[in-house]
Amino acid sequence: MRLVKVLARIWKPIALIAGIFTVCVGGFIVTQGVSVFNGLYWGIITISTIGYGDIVPTNEVSKVFAIILALSTIGIIGYVVSAISSLALQAREEEMLGLDGTKFEGHVLVLGWTPVAQVALQELLQVGRKVAIMTRQQEQLTEIRTFVAHLLGSARENPDLKAHLSAESDVFVALGDYAQGAALKLLNLPKASEAIVASDDDARNVMTALILKELAPHLRVVVSVMREELRETLHAAGVTYVISPSELGGRMVAAAAIQPEIAQTFDDLTTTSYHYRMDEFPLTAPNPLVGLEFDAASDRVRAETGATLVGVARPRPRDGGKRIFDVVLSPPAGTRLEAGWYVLILSGADQIQKLRSWIRVPPGRPPSREPRSAGSTAGATQV
């Protein structure tokens, strides 16, 4: 695709060169009566000023033609070479800026480059996701690419992460103002499945979230904000999840002071680099847990994989079609796992492969193509 774009830009200089050589061949054929091949050969050594001397004009007309050809084409060839070089460099620069756009599908958008975005990108790449990143600062493009290369290089040395690791080709980086719809089109917005908005400007984050829901109602949008009072506004706009790093950090600090092991457990479970991980699996065919009671399902998960079934996420009744899910840990005895729910399963690094093979459905939410919801509720998750 990039080659096609480059050729589309340099076709005029190439056509000019072709025209020159056509004139060369025709001129020497007419003035000297040579063959097409000899005419082409003669034209090339004349234009390039090589002049071997093995073939020379033998009449006044051909000599005049050779003089005109040599003098006129020196500047033309210089212009053509310069134009082709300039256009090729321009195409390369646009590629580095991400202005060619991406054809990713089912990918995650990361908008903004902050410490929150860095951690999010790390977690996404360690589970094999395709990610399209956009930043407003050109100097951050190299920083992002270096970060990705270093991260993936280090992760390949970890056998627990290597199996599901993304490749560098799964990361697209672009320069643009993600609060504008034109820039977001570079990220193939209609085919994206999730977006993480994590700049250091709350106002821009809110504006970006509103634009995302307007242009791509199907998109699951997660927004990071510093001001807690923005949560309700964003939920009302249909944002899937709103997180405040300062609030979450404060809770973790308090928990670490009072119950440090609990804080450590939550910290460990939220990173893919830890030995244990928590995954959610949809209760859809061919998941063998569909229709089982929770206790029976828990026993079967333990027997088959060694992992632990810890809870479910079930749609909230009469939510107006918003697809809001409530999480229930250790639900009451007799709770039957229904199709359309999700199960939350804790597994170790030595169990995750067996779990995925046995449960036969991938973890996480499938790409959503649902109409935009009218709102959401804090404390619940929304598809």
pLDDT the model gives residue 274: 63
pLDDT the model gives residue 205: 93
Q: Mean pLDDT over residues 359-378, rounded? A: 57
pLDDT over 70 (residue 279):
yes
373 versus 261: which is more confidently predicted?
A: 261
User: Which of the four pLDDT bands, split at 50, 70 and 90, describes residue 209?
Assistant: very high
Q: DSSP strand E in 176-237: where?
A: 194-197, 220-224
pLDDT over 70 (residue 380):
no
User: Which of the four pLDDT bands, split at 50, 70 and 90, describes residue 206?
Assistant: very high
Q: Which superfamily, per CATH, for 108-243?
A: NAD(P)-binding Rossmann-like Domain (3.40.50.720)
CB 195 within 8 A of CB 221: yes
Give CA separation, 167 vs 120, 162, 172, 234, in Å: 16, 10, 11, 33
Tokens encoding 206: 């809110």
Q: Where are the domains of the chain?
A: 2-97, 108-243, 276-382
| Residue type (1 letter), 215 | L
Place of tokens 């499945």: 193
Q: Mean pLDDT, the chain, as a whole number? A: 84
Q: Mean pLDDT over residues 146-151, rounded? A: 93
Which phi and psi angles does 318 have, rounded to 5°? 55, 50
User: Which of the four pLDDT bands, split at 50, 70 and 90, describes residue 107?
Assistant: very high
Topology alike, domains 2-97 and 276-382: no
Q: Mean pLDDT over residues 118-131, rounded? A: 91
Fold classification of 2-97 (topology level): Helix Hairpins (1.10.287)
Q: Supply the pTM of this predicted model.
A: 0.70
Tokens encoding 180: 């504008």
User: Which of the four pLDDT bands, split at 50, 70 and 90, describes residue 322?
Assistant: low
pLDDT the model gives residue 301: 96
pLDDT digit string (tens) for 333-360? 899 999 999 999 999 878 888 998 999 8
> Bridge-partner residues for 348, per DSSP?
276
Fold classification of 276-382 (topology level): Alpha-Beta Plaits (3.30.70)
pLDDT digit string (tens) for 9-60? 677 777 887 888 888 888 888 888 888 888 888 777 777 767 667 777 778 8
| Residue type (1 letter), 15 | A
114 conformational bin, left if phi > 0, alpha if psi -120 to 50, beta if neither: beta
